[in-house]
Amino acid sequence: MRLSMCAAAAVLALLACRPAEQAASSTPAGNPEAAMDAAAAVEAVRAFDTGTTYGAPITLTEVTKVSEILNSPAEWIGKRVLVEGLVVAVCEMKGCWMDIASDRDFEKVQIKVDDGVIVFPLTAKGKKALVEGVVEQLELSEEEARAEAQRKAEEHGEEFDPSSVTGPQTILRIRGLGAVIAD
């Protein structure tokens, strides 16, 4: 893991001298400012040198701000991104998702992984995570949204109020492929 992080940092350093078009793999057209500047990205990736890796090793080197993805979700759907943020919630039962805070107040994004393939520990809450994945959008009917809300409430041992779901929902999340959670 440490080796891959060093390699990522080295590649990132090279990217600083690279023409902009080569860096477009995780940057939607028209949003060149969406990714952090190279120096900040190097720092962000370096901070995870001593972290624990989950799933596939990180391959991307440019960190994209969560707020940028949330600003224009349609432009990011299907794109592979590297995001970074504080882990603010984790699936209590299976560790099959975690929420990471956006760089902007009142926002977060969910990282969903296949059950049992990657398992995030509940103790990751409050730690920094670097996650690589593909942005996806889920369209849930009212019924599906209610079932999902009920499942989450049960998972947290909370009472579920069916009237809290009032219609179909669109969920933007990142299908996590690999992550590093700082120790």
Which residues of this protein are in contact with another protein, per CB under 8 A?
Answer: 86, 88, 92-93, 101, 105-106, 108, 116, 119, 122-123, 125-128, 154
Nearer to another protein among residue 43 and residue 92 (C-beta): 92
- CB nearer another protein, residue 19 or residue 116: 116
* CA separation for the pair 40, 68 (Å, rounded): 15
* CB-CB contact of 99 with 108 (8 Å): yes
Least Å from the CB of residue 19 to another protein? 36
CB nearer another protein, residue 41 or residue 124: 124
Long-range contacts of 115-123 (CB under 8 A, 24+ apart): 117/55, 118/54, 118/55, 118/176, 118/178, 118/179, 119/54, 119/94, 119/95, 120/54, 120/87, 120/90, 120/91, 120/95, 120/96, 120/179, 120/181, 121/90, 121/95, 121/181, 122/90, 122/92, 122/95
Q: Which of 123, 141, 116, 134 is nearest to 172 (CA)?
A: 134
Tell me the closest approach of the beta carbon of residue 112 to another protein, in angstroms: 17
In angstroms, what is the minimal distance from the CB of 180 to another protein?
16
Shortest distance, CB of residue 47 to another protein, whole angstroms? 13
Min dist. Cβ of residue 109 to another protein (A): 12
Residue whose CB is less far from another protein, 70 or 119:
119
138 or 182, CB closer to another protein? 182
